[in-house]
A and B are shown apart, each in its own frame.
Chain A
């Protein structure tokens, strides 16, 4: 059937054309922006699930853009790894876009068309980065999503504009390093296709140019994913971004960057090069340990709930990078499972922040006093998200952490295991403190915030368009936890490169 052959490109075409449609219709009427964006992302989710099932049935899909054969034309490759990541990206972005309706109306009433245009463009970039099999195409899509993110963050209030500027500088630096690395690969091999590079490079592994290329690409991606010493831009940018924006970028940007790192390490270079020739795995696991501990300690120091979550993202990046560089099956399985779980956990917690901001106009800890009585459903979902972040068994977070710890034991990286346990403890302290504030401290009226609005919004349960995605995501955390074994044996097992 011709339709099913075109699925890999369709999943990008939906949000791309929606971006055009929204920017045109937005001129006449802002009412149509939201439904168009939702429909486009439903289309993406539908096609990405279709693509994943096709991969499970028939194996790896190679899609040639314009029918040109791989080394000359751009090729889209979908295997077990990015099939899974595609579903996560489109699911999370659909949840975030459904949630955004009321929040955008409240925070950005005069920028609705611009917001949704950039929003779907960002999703296009993320899906494209996941699906592409061409190193230069990846750079272009990386920049498409980054440019959309800069503008989306700059729409926020307060420090947003300045934080976004710092992100522009750092993000451009990261992308340029990546481009420079790709240039070195091109000089050495004359090819830009990842599969082609994989077959051409083994003879050249001894060359210094290849080593420099790998280092440049790695550092570039690390800046993009805010790996610990390079994380400086992330917390402010994500904290001051508009609520609906941070619901999309916080779960996805770092996770897609981790996916790109896996793709570069195992499908462009090979495990043999990365773990034997490059031979810096120990150093990088130590850096991951620093990321986990540093992120956790910085999170402890915060009194702002949203900012605390952004530091936890920095710690979670350490989990995934460390898991991959453990260089064994359990570690990599854990890291890939954690991409899925962490995207959903972060989305769940940021949706809760979004509802609290919508109702109380702030995201400090004292905005949460007494909320368990006022909005029980929201806070129940928050509790599930928090338990998953800590890693309590029935929820998804436990299982990826379990695999990561098994991986640490397998390769004898006790420091990494200690860091994981330390981070779980810190998470427990952090989230039980928030739960205590929400459950036991009495509800206080915040006259300081928004008394101009009068009693426009009473503090009670959020509207359905906000609550529905939150409840679905919270339940999916438990369902993912229950089916973690199924996902590992049927999908992730095949995504881990053979011979590890």
Chain B
């Protein structure tokens, strides 16, 4: 029980990921499959973003101009959230958006070709 409460971010991402995976693999409608794919990718983004967070930490911008002398310039990493996973996820968001774009374009083509987006109806026509 305690691990569920303290590591709730992991449980949320696993739940989201399973919803996405279920939709990708079991839905008959191609648009629903794509929605599942997006949820799956978002779950991983949630996972990365949550591991950068810390309690009582602030945004990772070093404050200049407060106080003088060497002591005030010392940086304690504990005071700042970890920016690296967030920056990585900017790239992953770009990748997710472009994958979504390509998938939607392909779906448009499929609809033009078969006149339907239900997988079983398409397979019948093939």
Q: Are A and B physically bound partners?
A: yes
A179 contacts across to B, CB distance below 8 A: 44, 92
Closest to A177 in B: B44
In the complex, are the beta carbons of B99 and A143 less than 8 A apart? yes
Given A140-B95, A162-B126, does the pair A176, B88 have CB atoms closer than 8 Å? no
B21 contacts across to A, CB distance below 8 A: 173
B102 contacts across to A, CB distance below 8 A: 147, 150-151, 168
Chain B: minimal CB distance from A173 (Å) = 7
In the complex, are the beta carbons of A172 and B99 less than 8 A apart? yes
B98 contacts across to A, CB distance below 8 A: 143, 147
Interface residue SS majority, chain A? helix
B44 contacts across to A, CB distance below 8 A: 176, 179-180, 183
In the complex, are the beta carbons of B103 and A168 less than 8 A apart? yes
> Within the assembled complex, what's the spacing in Å between the Cα atoms of A175 and B40?
11
Interface residue SS majority, chain B? helix
**Any A CB within 8 A of the CB of B15:** no
A192 contacts across to B, CB distance below 8 A: 88
In the complex, are the beta carbons of B126 and A172 less than 8 A apart? no
Closest to B96 in A: A172
Closest to A164 in B: B106
In the complex, are the beta carbons of A165 and B107 less than 8 A apart? yes
**Any B CB within 8 A of the CB of A500:** no
B92 contacts across to A, CB distance below 8 A: 139, 179
**Any B CB within 8 A of the CB of A169:** yes
In the complex, are the beta carbons of B33 and A169 less than 8 A apart? yes
> Within the assembled complex, what's the spacing in Å between the Cα atoms of A373 and B113?
39
In the complex, are the beta carbons of B40 and A173 less than 8 A apart? yes
Query: Which residue among A136, A143, A164, A176 has the maximum number of chain B CB atoms within 10 Å of its CB?
Result: A176
In the complex, are the beta carbons of A183 and B51 less than 8 A apart? yes
- Offer 29 A-B interface pairs, CB within 8 angstroms, sorted by A: A139-B95, A143-B95, A147-B102, A151-B102, A151-B105, A154-B106, A161-B106, A162-B113, A162-B126, A164-B106, A165-B103, A165-B107, A165-B110, A168-B99, A168-B102, A168-B103, A169-B33, A172-B37, A173-B24, A173-B37, A173-B40, A175-B95, A176-B41, A180-B47, A183-B47, A183-B85, A186-B51, A186-B85, A187-B51
7 closest pairs, A vs B, by CB? Answer: A161-B109, A143-B95, A168-B103, A165-B106, A161-B110, A154-B106, A150-B102
